[in-house]
Structure 1
Amino acid sequence: MSGGDHFVVQQTQGVPNVSLGGTVVPYKEVTLSAQLPGRVNYLAGIEGDTFKEGDRLVELDDSELMAKREAALAQLANADAQLRNAGVQYSRELWSPKSRSAMGGMGMPNLFDQMFTRPMEDAFGERDQGAERRADIFSSQTNIQQARNTIYRVQAEIRAIDAKLRDAKSLAPFDGVIMKKFVEVGDTVQPGQPLLKYADVEYLQIVVDVPGRLRPGLNEGMMLRAELDVGDRDVPVRVAQIFPMADAQRHTVTIKFDLPQGVSAPGMYAKVLVPDFNAPARSNPVIPNSAIRYNGSLPGVYVVGEDGKPMLRLIRVGEKLPGGEYSTVLSGLQAGERVLRNPPLGISAGWTSSQGQ
Structure 2
Amino acid sequence: MKASFWLTIPLALLLAACSGDIEPGRQQNEPAIITGLKTDVVTPLSQATAQTVVGTIESRDRAIISARTDGQVLRLAVKEGEEVAPGTLLAELGDHTASERLREAEAAISEARKNRDMAVARQKLADQTQQRFDRLFAAAAVTPQEMDKVTAEATIAKESLEAAEASLVRATAARDAAKTALSYTRITAPYAATVVRHEVQEGSTVLPGTPLVVLDRRDGWLVRLNIPESLYDAIAIGTVLDVEVPTLSLTLKGEVEELFPATDPRSRSSQAKVRLPGDAQLRSGLYARAFLHGESRDQLFIPRSALVLRGQLTGLYVVEDGILHYRLVKTGVLNNDRVEILSGLQSGETIVVKGVQQARHGAKVGE
Does structure 2 retain, via aligned residues, the 8 Å contact 1:40–1:186?
Answer: yes
Describe how 1:55-74 pairs up with structure 2 within 5 A: 55-74=88-107
Alignment of 1:46-61 (within 5 A): 46-61=79-94
Deviations 1:285-325 (A, max 9, x none): 222344446556x473423231443626342322x45xx34
Which deviates more, 8-17 or 191-200?
8-17
Q: How does 1:194-233 map to 2 (within 5 A)?
A: 194-200=211-217, 204-211=221-228, 213-215=231-233, 217-220=235-238, 222=240, 224-230=241-247, 233=249
The answer for unaligned runs of 5 or more in structure 2 is: 1-35, 363-367
Question: What is the identity percentage for the equivalent residue pairs of Structure 1 and Structure 2?
Answer: 19
Partner residue of 1:311 out of 326, 348, 355 = 326
Q: 1:275 aligns with which of 293, 297, 301?
A: 293
Alignment of 1:35-54 (within 5 A): 35-54=68-87
Q: Is the Cα–Cα contact under 8 Å of residues 47 and 299 in structure 2 kept in the other structure?
A: no
Once residues 330 and 184 of structure 2 are traced to their aligned partners in structure 1, the CA distance between those partners, rounded to angstroms, is 61
Conservation of the 8 A alpha-carbon contact between 2:192 and 2:218: no
Secondary structure of the 2:174 match is helix
Choose which of 20, 26, 31 in structure 1 pairs with 2:64.
31
Which of the numbers 236, 240, 244 marks the counterpart of 2:252?
A: 236
SS class of match (2:44): strand
The structural deviation recorded for 1:183 is: 0.8
Structure number with greater Rg is: 2
2: CA distance between counterparts of 1:29 and 1:294? 45
Quote the residue 1:258 is aligned against.
Answer: 276
Paired with 2:313 and 2:198, the residues of 1 have a C-alpha distance of 42
Partner of 1:180: 197
Mapping of 1:332-351 within 5 angstroms?
A: 332-343=344-355, 346-347=357-358, 349=360
TM-fit CA distance, 1:70:
0.8
The aligned amino acid for 2:147 is G
SS in 2 for 1:246: coil
TM-score by length of 2: 0.73
SS at match of 2:52: strand
- Aligned residues of 1:217 and 1:276 also touching (Cα < 8 A): no
Aligned to 1:102: none
Runs (4 or more) in structure 1 with deviation over 6 Å come to: none
* Displacement after TM superposition at 1:326 (Å): 3.3
Partner amino acid for 1:235?
A: T
- With over 3 angstroms needed to count, the CA separation of the structure-2 counterparts of 1:218 and 1:329, relative to structure 1, is farther
User: Amino acid of the residue matched to residue 273 of structure 1?
Assistant: F
Aligned-residue offset at 1:340: 3.5
Q: Which runs of 5+ in 1 are unaligned?
A: 100-113, 352-357
Q: Confirm or deny: 8 A CA contact 2:69 2:181 kept in the other structure.
A: yes
Report the CA distance between 1:154 and its aligned residue: 1.4
C-alpha change, 1:217 and 1:53, in structure 2 (3 Å) is: same
* TM-score, normalised by the number of residues in structure 1: 0.75
Structure 1 residues 143-197: Cα deviation after superposition (integer angstroms, max 9, x where no partner):
1111111111111122222222232222122333211111111011122221121
TM-align CA RMSD: 3.4
What per-residue deviation string (whole Å, max 9, x for no partner) do you get for residues 65-107 of structure 1?
Answer: 11110100100010000000001111111223599xxxxxxxx
> Tell me, what secondary structure is at the counterpart of 1:192?
coil
Alignment partner of 1:287 is 2:302: yes
Q: Out of 95, 101, 116, which is 1:83 matched to?
A: 116
Q: Structure 1 pair 244/314, CA: closer, same or farther in 2 (3 Å)?
A: closer
Equivalents in 2 of 1:51, 1:72: separation in Å?
Answer: 34
Please name the residue that 2:340 is paired with: 328
- The answer to whether residue 180 in structure 2 is matched with residue 166 in structure 1 is no
